[in-house]
Structure 1
Amino acid sequence: MFKKLDILIIRSFIGPFLAAFAISLFVLTMQFFWLYIDDLVGKGLDFFTVMKLVGLVMLFWVPMALPLALLFSSIMTFGNLGESFELVAIKASGIPLLRFMRPLFFITILLSGLAFLFSNNIIPVTQLKLAALKYDIIVSKPAIDIKEGVFYDKLDGYVIKLGKKEKNDSVIHDIVLFEKNYGLQDNMLMAESGIMRVTPDKKFLEFILKNGWRFEERGTRGTANTEFIRLGFKEYKKIFDLSSFQMNKTGDSAFYDPKMLSLRQLNHAIDSLENIDTFYLKRSRADITPYVRFARYAADTGWIKTDTLKIKTAKSFDALLPDSLRDVIIDASVGQISSIKSNVGLLASDYTEKYKSLRFHEIEWHRKFTLSVACIVLFLIGAPLGSIIRKGGLGTPLVFAIIFFVLFHLFNTFGEKFVKSGQASPLQGMWLSTLVLIPIGAFLTYKAMRDSQLFNQEFYYRTFTRLRKIWNNFRKNQGSKNKEQESMIS
């Protein structure tokens, strides 16, 4: 009987989970494209590059889509069972809530382990490839789209204006072309008509112009001895190099981010960064000691003991210095202090960057585990919540799934911000969402095991009606007492 029950629950769970995972992954992927839509439009990307970008973005969001899909599908599964009274029949047969949650809990643990392996082994490579591809797309120039009546300046060294283009975009009319030569003034070329086409290898743009003139001025800047050349032509061929428009592929080694490291690599990096205190202490001594030379001779010469009386009776520091050496010593002291300040500032800046890098590495180390544990935590919220609301479909489960996922995402974001700003340790900040949601899951499980009417409208309506009657009776009693007191006074 239990085996059949397990199969029933698993079959009820698989469909909603796959649908919820697909929807979550699609929404998160669209979030990326909404953010970078301005950098992607007009780049002339080929189909393979677009598909590669979509695939990398989808892989990047898989660990985030899994918790949301588990939350949504668990609410929907147990809500459907409750709405069809199958949940009531299961409980009536003496099977507790935790027992029929067990098969899905095992599946959740399995998916949590897969999420960790995905985050540790696939996400670093995906993040590296995505960063390189995104950089290449953003820095590449827009595709060639020369519109009518608009000056086009994306070709290096040229500005082009077309009066009219035919429907096939190849035959053009009233062409004006400015060639930047950084001389007296730009060369100019005008033609009545022509043909515009890209070579088959996509490396050059050809203009075959007809019936036009070329204007050029030669000479030395600042003198009147110049010559103006006007050249008429029946046919003129102009070739533009399109190599700058081709998207160059940047090497993966040009990027480094803690998100691109696996758990083993993060451990190695953290071990190296944790020794920065000892390293910078030794470095500060080595950099500052040469500028405080007097400290090296204090113990050897004994001048501190012999001149103690003179120092105590002196009214100021200038009184201790001979008149002939006072200015020299003050200038030398100011120079040494300036050098010490400069070195200390550089050391402090370098130390701050290293410490910030340590925190970023620790954030990514904890993220490997928090997203996996989030699958279990959100399932422990979704399963009892679905058995309480007893509503299937997409409406109510979707609303509750969005509410709790937004809470998880907000606390996760707040915790990460606290860690980056130094207001919390990586352990406290990165596990903040888990620490907040675990008590909520325990509370919902407790209520679901006792068939709580936590989200029953009739229960709240009856409770409100009862409270209103109590309040009305209290007001009546209070009014009658006031009347009795007034009668007694009168």
Structure 2
Amino acid sequence: MIKKLDKLIIRSFAGPFIVTFFITFFVLMMQSLWKYIDDLVGKDLDLFTIGQFLWYASASLLTLTMPIAILISSIMTFGNLGESFELVAIKSAGISLLRFMRPLIWVALLLCGITFLFANYVIPYANLKFKTIYYDIAFKKPALDLKPGTFYKHIPGYAIKIGKKDADGKTIHNVVIYEQQSQLQDNSIIAEKGTMKLSADKRYLEFTLQNGNRYQERGNSMDTSTEFIRMGFKEYKKLFDISSLQMMNTSDTVFKNDYKMLSIRLLDRTIDSIRKQKDSLGTKLNREVNNQLHYVNLRDDIWKRAPAVKVDTSFVLATLPDSVKIKVYEGALTIAYSLKNSYQIVGNDMDSKRDGIKVGLIEWHRKFSLSLACLVLFFIGAPLGSIIRKGGLGMPLVVAILFFLIFHLLNMFGEKFVKENMTTPLVGMWLAVLVLTPLGMFLTYKAMHDSALFNKEFYFWIFKNIRLFFNPVINKLNRKQ
């Protein structure tokens, strides 16, 4: 009997989970696509490159898709069972809610493990590939698209305008080309018509112009006088290097040291290395101070044996000759400026290392906190479903989105608090889990005791009792008036 119930709850959970997972994944994917749409449009990207971009961008979405899918599907599952009175029948048979939830608890733990493995091994590699492709796409200039009446300025050193382009896409009319070869002169070419074509390797654009003039101004920066040349032509060929319009193939190694591209093992190694470098900076500063202030190297027993004599430094300086006094002041200022520069340089390096450790710990804790969030949101969704007792995508979806927004906002605020040094990475990155875990325990307790937490009759009853309690007071006040 118990095994059949386990199969029942797992089958009831599997369908909604798969559906909500892919729906959530699709929504988040469209959000990412909309975020980067300006970088993709107008650059003549092939389908393979766009597919790679979306594929690697979608990998990092799993850590957000998994928790919300578990939350929605658990609310839907227990809501459907409660609406069909199957939960009532199971409880009447003496089976507790926790025992009924046990197979899904194991499923949630399995999904937590999958999310962690994905976040630790797959997402760093996907982030590395995504950032490399995005870098190449972002710095790729728009595709060659000469529109009539508009200057095309994406070829370095040139501005091209055509008055008309024939249907064949090659014949052009009223061509104007401005070329800037120096900061002083702009040469120009004006032609009645011509043809354009790409070279075989697509690195060059060839214009064959007819019936036009080339205007050139010669001069140099040392002389304000210039020489103006006009050359007419019947046919003129001009080559444009459009290799800058091609997409670069940046190596993955450029971004391999980014913290988002590292696993737990590599993050531990990187953080330990930065901590050692930070400690060495303190040793370096002490060594520089000791080299500048020689008296700090004296042993403590020498200071203890020295007589406690109060020396008037102003009197000592006054007895020195002016030439010596100037040298003393200059030496003191040199030492002071040197120490100031040393403290500033080391202080900046210390701040940089401290920020590096903080960002590394943020990514380290993120992998664990988002994975455990799957279990926490399950213990919120399952009790909520059994309390609400409504199936489908209506009320469960509204409640799930509300709680997921709370979870997501807590994650964002926690990370922001860490970056602004308001809290430690441990507290900031686990803020959502720390806040929602007691809520999950409370909802589970209420569900186990058949609470009427979301029953409207329960609140009508409370309001009615409050009204009856205050009615004598209200009537007494009315009689006094």
**TM-score of the two chains, using structure 2 as the length reference:** 0.93
Q: What code does the residue aligned with 2:54 have?
A: V
Q: What code does the residue aligned with 1:192 have?
A: E
Asked if the contact 1:314/1:320 (under 8 Å) is kept, the reply is: no
Spell out, residue by residue over 1:426-481, the C-alpha distance to the aligned partner (whole angstroms, 9 max, x if none).
2211111111001100111111111111111222123213322332233224555x
Percent of residue pairs identical: 48
Q: Distance in 1 between matches of 2:278 and 2:403?
A: 41
Report deviation, 1:26: 2.0
Secondary structure in structure 2 of the residue aligned to 1:325: helix
Q: Distance in 2 between matches of 1:211 and 1:55?
A: 51
Q: Distance in 2 between matches of 1:303 and 1:326?
A: 30
CA RMSD of aligned residues (A): 2.5
Aligned to 1:488: none
Alpha-carbon distance change, 449 to 168 in structure 1, aligned in 2, over 3 angstroms: farther
Q: Distance in 2 between matches of 1:300 and 1:462?
A: 83
Q: What code does the residue aligned with 2:431 have?
A: L
1:156 aligns to 2:150 (yes or no)? no
Q: Distance in 1 between matches of 2:213 and 2:334?
A: 68
Aligned to 1:398: 397
Q: Distance in 1 between matches of 2:315 and 2:304?
A: 18
Aligned to 1:133: 133
Aligned to 2:267: 266
1:73 aligns to 2:73 (yes or no)? yes
Q: Give the unaligned 5+ runs of structure 2.
A: none
Alpha-carbon distance change, 225 to 322 in structure 1, aligned in 2, over 3 angstroms: closer
Report deviation, 1:422: 2.2
Q: Give the unaligned 5+ runs of structure 1.
A: 484-490
Asked if the contact 2:213/2:230 (under 8 Å) is kept, the reply is: no
Question: For residues 221-240 of structure 1, what are the structure 2 equivalents within 5 Å?
Answer: 222=223, 226=227, 228-233=229-234, 235-240=235-240
Report deviation, 1:236: 2.8
Matched residues, number: 479
Asked if the contact 1:140/1:246 (under 8 Å) is kept, the reply is: yes
Q: What code does the residue aligned with 2:261 have?
A: M
Aligned to 1:367: 366
Aligned to 1:287: 288
Aligned to 1:448: 447
Aligned to 1:486: none
1:257 aligns to 2:258 (yes or no)? yes
Q: Distance in 2 between matches of 1:302 and 1:106?
A: 69
Asked if the contact 2:278/2:353 (under 8 Å) is kept, the reply is: no
Alpha-carbon distance change, 219 to 267 in structure 1, aligned in 2, over 3 angstroms: closer
Secondary structure in structure 2 of the residue aligned to 1:117: helix
Aligned to 2:104: 104
Alpha-carbon distance change, 220 to 455 in structure 1, aligned in 2, over 3 angstroms: closer
Q: Distance in 2 between matches of 1:334 and 1:315?
A: 17
Q: Distance in 1 between matches of 2:472 and 2:240?
A: 92
Secondary structure in structure 2 of the residue aligned to 1:231: strand
Aligned to 1:208: 208
Mean alpha-carbon deviation: is it higher for 259-268 or for 436-445? Answer: 259-268
Spell out, residue by residue over 1:127-174, the C-alpha distance to the aligned partner (whole angstroms, 9 max, x if none).
111111111111111111222211111111211011122344333211
Asked if the contact 2:53/2:133 (under 8 Å) is kept, the reply is: yes
Spell out, residue by residue over 1:50-82, the C-alpha distance to the aligned partner (whole angstroms, 9 max, x if none).
000100011111112101110011111111111
Aligned to 2:410: 411
Alpha-carbon distance change, 316 to 30 in structure 1, aligned in 2, over 3 angstroms: farther
Alpha-carbon distance change, 182 to 459 in structure 1, aligned in 2, over 3 angstroms: same
Q: Distance in 2 between matches of 1:302 and 1:455?
A: 76
Q: Distance in 2 between matches of 1:252 and 1:147?
A: 36
Secondary structure in structure 2 of the residue aligned to 1:15: helix
**TM-score of the two chains, using structure 1 as the length reference:** 0.91
Aligned to 1:328: 327
Aligned to 2:23: 23
Q: Distance in 1 between matches of 2:259 and 2:306?
A: 55
Q: What code does the residue aligned with 1:392 have?
A: G
Question: For residues 410-429 of structure 1, what are the structure 2 equivalents within 5 Å?
Answer: 410-429=409-428
1:474 aligns to 2:468 (yes or no)? no
Secondary structure in structure 1 of the residue aligned to 2:239: strand
Q: What code does the residue aligned with 2:355 have?
A: K
Spell out, residue by residue over 1:319-368, the C-alpha distance to the aligned partner (whole angstroms, 9 max, x if none).
46454411110111001100110011100110111111111111111112
Aligned to 2:196: 196
Spell out, residue by residue over 1:412-435, the C-alpha distance to the aligned partner (whole angstroms, 9 max, x if none).
122222222222222211111111
Asked if the contact 1:149/1:164 (under 8 Å) is kept, the reply is: yes
Mean alpha-carbon deviation: is it higher for 210-219 or for 414-423? Answer: 210-219
Q: Distance in 2 between matches of 1:436 and 1:224?
A: 76
Spell out, residue by residue over 1:18-76, the C-alpha distance to the aligned partner (whole angstroms, 9 max, x if none).
12111222222233233333233222211111000100011111112101110011111
Aligned to 1:2: 2
Report deviation, 1:200: 4.3
